[in-house]
């Protein structure tokens, strides 16, 4: 039996530099065999040097986009990124409760690589208490996990696993703790599920072009979930894809500071 090409929705902010957010998500979806759709929650003025301005549409317009997509199109998976404020978080939460997509990957976007706040303080509690329990998978980096739990950031892999378990206890079905902020030669992530924990090792690629890596990993998992037989397999395959995209990022010449990964490294 031939399976249909999955339709995967990204709910996130737009990156005018093309390396992160909606743009990165749609590129990753396409590279991994999924048809991408989008609901834009914020507009950012940014490039490889950083974010210079953010405009957030009214939550009612976010709701209109969500209804337009879900009312007409079969959605096989959802990736959620930048949500900006509590009103937008609640609009997305209400849509997920209404339409009940099978797979929801929540990337807890809070701060850009240039240290620009991308989530209002009042939205952190709404994301943790209302949206996180609806997620198939939550993919925080270490500072984000610490902010959600109101604890110090993990400094080793044992602490990563403990904090991942604490986030799972808040309601998410699974948590992927990303180890990119650790200073070890190996860049290991930990997948914490009800069935146990899985260490996903991988080389730390010593290149500066890492803009959009978090967006790309979470969107890759969302694209692969409808195409793989388990969350662990989808996550491992997504991590391999991202590693290749970082390793080949030097083929691109985009901007002057932290450049994007090469989403289409397998083709050009």
| Residue 164 predicted with pLDDT over 80 | yes
Mean pLDDT of 183-197: 84
For residue range 49-81, what is the model confidence (pLDDT) as tens digits? 999 999 999 999 999 999 999 999 999 999 999
In a domain, residue 172? The reply is yes
| Residue 171 predicted with pLDDT over 70 | yes
Confidence category of residue 179, pLDDT binned at 50, 70, 90: confident
In a domain, residue 20? The reply is yes
In a domain, residue 1? The reply is no
Q: What is the pTM of this model?
A: 0.95
Domain span including residue 22: 7-251
In which order are the strands placed within the sheet that holds 196-200? 50-55, 35-47, 7-15, 77-80, 104-106, 137-138, 175-177, 189-193, 196-200
The rounded percent of the chain whose pLDDT value lies above 70 is 94
Name which of 220, 222, 242 is nearest 8 in CA terms.
222
**Residue 197: φ, ψ to 5°:** -120, 150
CATH code, domain with 224: 3.40.1190.20
| Residue 197 predicted with pLDDT over 70 | yes
In a domain, residue 148? The reply is yes
Confidence category of residue 194, pLDDT binned at 50, 70, 90: very high
In a domain, residue 260? The reply is no
How many separate domains does the chain show?
1
Mean pLDDT of 89-106: 98
In a domain, residue 158? The reply is yes
167 Cβ contact list (under 8 Å, min separation 6): 132, 138, 140, 145, 148, 149, 175, 192
User: Which residues are known to be catalytic?
Assistant: 178, 210, 212-215
In a domain, residue 257? The reply is no
Joined together, the tokens standing for residue 13 give 């902010």
In a domain, residue 71? The reply is yes
């Amino acid at each position: 039996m031939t399976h249909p090409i999955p339709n995967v929705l990204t709910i996130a902010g737009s990156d005018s530099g093309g390396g992160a957010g909606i743009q990165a998500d749609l590129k990753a979806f396409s590279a991994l065999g999924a048809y991408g759709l989008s609901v834009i929650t914020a507009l950012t003025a940014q490039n490889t040097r950083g974010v210079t301005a953010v405009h957030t549409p009214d939550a009612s317009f976010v709701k209109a986009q969500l209804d337009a997509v879900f009312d007409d199109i079969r959605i096989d998976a959802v990736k959620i990124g930048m949500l900006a404020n509590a009103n937008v978080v609640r609009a997305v939460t209400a849509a997920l409760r209404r339409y009940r997509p099978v797979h929801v990957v929540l990337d807890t976007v809070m701060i850009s690589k240039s240290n620009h706040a991308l989530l209002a303080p009042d939205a952190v509690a709404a994301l943790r208490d209302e949206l996180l329990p609806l997620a198939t998978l939550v993919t925080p980096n270490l500072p984000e996990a610490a902010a959600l739990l109101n604890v110090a950031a993990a400094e080793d892999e044992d602490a990563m696993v403990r904090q991942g378990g604490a986030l799972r206890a808040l309601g998410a079905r699974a948590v992927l703790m990303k180890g990119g902020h650790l200073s070890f030669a190996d860049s290991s992530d930990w997948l914490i599920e009800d069935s146990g924990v899985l260490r996903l090792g991988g080389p730390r690629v010593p290149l500066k072009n890492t803009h959009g890596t978090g967006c790309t990993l979470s969107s890759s998992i969302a694209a692969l979930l409808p195409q793989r037989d388990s969350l662990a397999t989808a996550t491992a395959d997504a991590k391999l894809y991202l590693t290749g995209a970082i390793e080949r990022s030097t083929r691109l010449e985009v901007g002057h500071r932290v450049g994007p990964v090469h989403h289409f490294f397998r083709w050009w």
